[in-house]
Structure 1
Amino acid sequence: MPDRTLPIRTTAAVALVATGLLLTACGTAPKPDAPAAPKRTTAPAAPEEPAAEAAATLGGPGTACALPVSFALAKGWEPEAVKDPENPEFAELTRQGPAVMRCEVDAKPTGNIGYLRVWTVAKGSARTALEGFVKAADQPSAVTYRETRAGSLAAVEVTYTSHGELTDETKEQRAFAVATPKGPVVLVHLGGLDTDEHRAMLPAYELAKSTTKAL
């Protein structure tokens, strides 16, 4: 009997090919691969300023400013107590809202233009002290408050912008406040000539905040 295996296999193969062509003609052929989605790129984050080196402590006995709290000062910053801050003749310089300026820490020896200023508020909470302080600033905007810690103390911090008369520009500002066991609220503010100066001085501000202690 003749061998019919080969013709049968060949016929089946032809049938499969024909079926495949028919499916292709009907639009059921495999779809071409979709083009790869473009890769998303993320802008590099701005480099952070290095942490400030602590060189002294401000606020305790024998320091330049007698305060209800103490904190570490960054290297090169020079503190000076505000003389006669309660004098109404100097109110334009020493008062902002409910706050009275007690101490100025000058950044100029480090090459930056700005101050870390320490204020006290006679009564109220840290939040209300900050709110009154910011409302009295020059055209405050983009005001944001948040709960935080200043050393081991509960604190409130604010970031905002104000309009600088000297440069006629909007610049960043920030401050934190703590309510002390002895009563007054202590408010530490960092300004600067402009936003660039402000950001360059942030390590000194963060050092003060992270080392704040009630006395």
Structure 2
Amino acid sequence: MRERARPIRTALPVALAATGLLLAGCGTTPGTGAPAATPTASGTPTASGAPSGTGVPEAARAAGTVGGPGTACALPVSFALAEEWKPEAIDDPDDPEFAVLMRQGPATVRCEVDAKPAGHIGYLRVWTAPKGPARAALEGFVKAEKGASKAVYRTTAAGALPAVEVTYTVRDALMEESKEERAFAVATSKGTVIVHLGGLDTDEHREMIPAYELARTTLKPS
């Protein structure tokens, strides 16, 4: 990230959202399951989307990685990026002057992967928290989000690592609607990692689920 800090609040004016500067939460009804990754004939990882009829693309094709040495963000984990999604590290996320923007519950944001180049308004954001149970960190993360409710947790896997996933809704008073959000968390030797998917609204969120699933199914310690 070239700027000193980037606003990441979920409740910003709609005018900013229209320019892609907003990371909003998403959706009206939590999902009931996570699609699985599927191989392609070429061997390039892809991740399946939601069932047909939902308006969600069926798969996201990998185009690079983030999190490992030499990538845009130094993280405890790495994962595959969907085509045209652009990662950028958060500058000085521990600066107390910007704590209200950079922290959510026990977690601090470290990296954001922008979907705008792929035609969506939203981000995957990667957060880190101190060592401890992944579910406890994820619960603290959700509870710290203003307007969050209807959280549903389940055990899953992120690559070869055990993970906890949550789907929940967030009431956006500005837009006068509830929107779906989701995240998963894994415990690593360097602390807990939370990968969160946002979006301008429910439709944007659901269209980006394949990129989220690609990240989840290809995740590994870096």
**TM-score by structure 1 length?**
0.77
Taking the aligned partners of 1:97 and 1:170, their CA distance within structure 2 comes to: 21
Secondary structure in 2 aligned to 1:49? coil
Taking the aligned partners of 1:207 and 1:54, their CA distance within structure 2 comes to: 7
Corresponding residue for 1:163? 171
Q: Which amino acid aligns with 1:174?
A: R
Corresponding residue for 1:130? 138
Matched, 1:146 2:147: no
Taking the aligned partners of 1:166 and 1:105, their CA distance within structure 2 comes to: 24
Taking the aligned partners of 2:73 and 2:163, their CA distance within structure 1 comes to: 21
Is residue 56–residue 209 contact of structure 2 (8 Å, CA) maintained in 1?
A: no
Secondary structure in 1 aligned to 2:59? coil
Q: Which amino acid aligns with 2:158?
A: A
Taking the aligned partners of 2:90 and 2:190, their CA distance within structure 1 comes to: 20
1:20-76 C-alpha deviation (Å, 9 max, x unpaired) = xxxxxxxxxxxxxxxxxxxxxxxx853552210100010000000000000000000
Corresponding residue for 1:192? 199
Q: Which amino acid aligns with 2:192?
A: V
Q: Match for 1:57 among 56, 60, 65?
A: 65
Q: Match for 2:216 among 194, 209, 213?
A: 209
RMSD: 1.3
Taking the aligned partners of 1:81 and 1:165, their CA distance within structure 2 comes to: 29
- 1:129–1:92 Cα change, 3 Å: same
Corresponding residue for 2:17? none
1:99-134 C-alpha deviation (Å, 9 max, x unpaired) = 000001000011110000000001221000100000
Secondary structure in 2 aligned to 1:52? strand
**TM-score by structure 2 length?**
0.74
Is residue 131–residue 187 contact of structure 2 (8 Å, CA) maintained in 1?
A: no
Corresponding residue for 1:92? 100
Superposed counterparts of 1:16-95, under 5 Å: 46=54, 48-95=56-103
Please report how far the alpha carbon of residue 178 of structure 1 lies from its aligned counterpart in structure 2 after TM superposition: 0.3
Is residue 112–residue 125 contact of structure 2 (8 Å, CA) maintained in 1?
A: yes
Taking the aligned partners of 2:137 and 2:75, their CA distance within structure 1 comes to: 17
Gaps of 5+ in 2: 1-51
1:155-204 C-alpha deviation (Å, 9 max, x unpaired) = 00000000224423210000000001x23100000011111110010000
- 1:79–1:165 Cα change, 3 Å: farther
Gaps of 5+ in 1: 1-43
Equivalent residue pairs, number? 171
Question: Which structure has the highest helix share of the two?
Answer: 1
Q: Which amino acid aligns with 1:163?
A: R
The structure 1 segments of at least 4 consecutive aligned residues displaced by more than 3 Å after TM superposition are 44-48
- 1:114–1:48 Cα change, 3 Å: closer
Corresponding residue for 1:24? none
